[in-house]
Chains A and B, each alone.
Chain A
Amino acid sequence: MSEQSAVRRQRRKRLAARSFEWLCLTATFLCIIVLAALLSGIIYRGAGWLSIEFLTNGPSRFPDQSGVKAALIGSVWLIGLTALISVPLGTGAAIYLEEYARPGILRQFIQTNVSNLAGVPSIVYGILGLGLFVRTLAIGDTVLAGALTMSLLILPVVIVAAQEALRAVPDSIRHASLALGATRWQTIQHQVLPAALPGISTGTILALSRALGEAAPLIAVGALAFVSRYPLGPMDKYTVLPIQIFNWTGKPQHDFQNVAAAGIIVLLGVLLCMNALAVFIRYRYGKQIRW
């Protein structure tokens, strides 16, 4: 091989390396640009439609009189009930798996089961809710049925988050408590749970914010798209923000798309607040405990 062709090969190799790095950098920036374009497009379409009336009006046939009040209150009801159902169940399951269950086939089985449940499409939870809660238990298309369905959906996420928080509590705390004569339950109640609480609440808030944005299962359990009044109790009919947005997006009139964009801004705003709360809890309380 002549010296010249060796040099040329060297140069070509360097060029390939350089362009690969640029390719990867471009991909990274592409992701960021897509996000920026997405958000600015939505703000451009929706910001002009955002007003106090938009927050206090119910749905309407006319775009300029439409508002998110009924949907917003419906979402609050749904998330509140979902939290009431899924947090005790999820934390309980995590405590069992981490503190009580002995390593073995049963625990392995439950663990695999939990991680597989997290991968089931949300619409499948929806028809499970439709078959189980709405029809078989005859709860009907009420907030309660929606919240039960939503709880099943986020339960795996809550369990995994709570398990991680419990696992982060060092064993020395448990041993010290047991050595002082506390029972197993007293140890969990007074030592382990308080120490794991910030982690559990952070994970739960993130799971609930996922439930807030989720619409597919609620379509199946009958969250109505046009509800003029908001729910007053768990057995009322309801609609939620994502369903309302879905409904507006599907309308042929151009103006309703702007209303949908405004609804999306409200939804993203609420989600942002919830995530900020989770981050706040993680930093504020996570640092207090030192081992």
Chain B
Amino acid sequence: MCAAVSVLTTLGIVVVLLSQARGFFQEVSLVEFFTDTRWTPLFEQKHYGILPLVSGTMLVAAGSALVALPVGLCTAIYLSEYAAPRFREVVKPVLEILAGIPSVVYGFVAVVFISPIIREIFPSADVFNAASASLVVGVMILPMVISLSEDVLGSVPQALREASCALGASQFETIVRVVVPAALSGIVASFLLAVSRAIGETMAVTLAAGATPNLTLNPLESIQTMTAYIAQVSMGETEHGSTGYNSIFAVGISLFVITLLMNLLSQWVLSRMREKYE
């Protein structure tokens, strides 16, 4: 009965996206979609190559991972291995606040606070740039990396730590050589989930990263991500049934497939780890 709704939702997503995207692919060939390096559906000269949007998305995702993964992992290690229980009890709720802040707030922070600082340091940067978006998205996925990594670090059996210390290893050696490698697959899974969230993030990148589909690796330039394109088109007055309107479903289905693959991959990695210790 009710559980059917969840299955129906999945089916709904696939069916709606596919049927609308089919209209798009009748006008634009798959070859053009995947190989053209320009994405200009709203201009006179229309080009539908998804590569600039994908590169924009990946640029922001990679940038945010660069921020969130090292800081997140170090924080998780500190909380799980070094911190006194009372310190942990205070810090964890604080980090949960960070997780509860809506993404539009991060977008505001990127535009109002981060972007001026970046332009101060690099005068050549665009007003809207990938770097400011990456930074805030990085902060956004930070709580996720921390809590998931800390969970897996905590689930490493205490016996392993004791055995390592009994063999004469210091606490540092135990952490780096025993605990982290033992939890590695779980940590990788948490990284994948966090990056998948960064890929799907919409509001912050729509506000901060700009609206210029741009095949570039320079984080100081204005770019557009897949999510931001969908938001931009659906906000505007694009005619229902036009190629421009249908294109958001084509982009949406690409986005859906990418994040689904990453989530499945992370579940697979995690399930492999569980077998090892139970």
Chain B residues with CB under 8 Å of chain A are 1-3, 5-7, 9-10, 12-13, 16-17, 19-20, 70-72, 74-75, 77-79, 81-83, 91, 94-95, 97-98, 100-105, 107-109, 111-113, 139, 142, 146, 170-173, 175-176, 193, 196-197, 199-203, 206-207, 227, 230-231, 234-235, 240, 248-249, 252, 255-256, 259-260, 263-264, 267
Instruction: State which of A97, A120, A126, A222 has its C-beta within 8 Å of the C-beta of B230.
Output: A126
CB of B71 within 8 A of CB of A31, answer yes
Question: How far, in whole Å, are A64 and B109 apart by their CA atoms in the complex?
Answer: 21
Report how far A28 CA is from B203 CA in the complex, Å. Answer: 26
A214 vs B61: C-alpha distance when bound (angstroms): 20
Can you report 20 residue pairs joining A to B where beta carbons are below 8 Å apart?
A16-B172, A20-B172, A21-B172, A25-B78, A27-B74, A28-B74, A89-B5, A113-B7, A117-B10, A119-B259, A123-B200, A127-B248, A155-B9, A213-B102, A214-B103, A219-B231, A220-B248, A225-B235, A249-B207, A257-B108
A249-B108 in contact (CB<8A)? yes
Which residues from chain A contact B12 at a C-beta distance below 8 Å? Answer: 128, 132, 152
Minimum-distance CB pairs A-B, first 3: A121-B200, A213-B102, A92-B2
For the complex, what is the distance from the CA of A27 to the CA of B193, rounded to whole Å?
21
Q: In the complex, what distance in Å separates the CA atom of A260 from the CA atom of B104? A: 10
Whether A20 contacts B176 by the Cβ 8 Å rule is: yes
Q: Restricting to A107-143, which residues have a CB under 8 Å from any CB of B? A: 109-110, 113-117, 119-128, 130-132, 135-136
Give the number of residues in A that approach B within 8 Å (Cβ atoms): 81
CA distance A90 to B6 in the complex (A): 9
Q: How many Cβ-Cβ contacts under 8 Å join chain A to chain B? A: 229
Least Cβ–Cβ distance between A1 and chain B, in angstroms: 17
Q: Provide the main secondary structure of the chain A interface.
A: helix
- Contact call B256/A120, Cβ cutoff below 8 A: yes
A271 in complex: contacting residue of B82, B102, B207, CB < 8 Å: B102
CB of B170 within 8 A of CB of A220, answer no
Could you tell me if B260 and A119 are in contact, using CB atoms closer than 8 angstroms? yes
User: Quick one: which of B146, B171, B235 has the most chain A CB within 10 A?
Assistant: B235
User: Are B5's CB and A216's CB within 8 A?
Assistant: no
Given contacts A23-B74, A41-B113, A121-B259, contact A245 B200 (CB under 8 A): no
Contact B91 A28 (CB under 8 A): yes
Report if A159 contacts B (CB, 8 A). yes
Among A32-40, A48-56, A197-205, A281-289, the stretch in contact with B: A32-40
Chain B residues within an 8 Å CB radius of A105? none
Which listed residue, A16, A21, A219, touches B82 by the CB 8 Å rule?
A21
Residues in A whose Cβ lies below 8 Å from that of B108: 42, 245, 249, 257, 260-261, 264
Given A121-B256, A122-B200: A114 and B104 interface contact (C-beta under 8 Å)? no
B252 adjacent to A110 (CB under 8 Å)? no
Contacts of B91 in A (CB 8 A): 28, 32
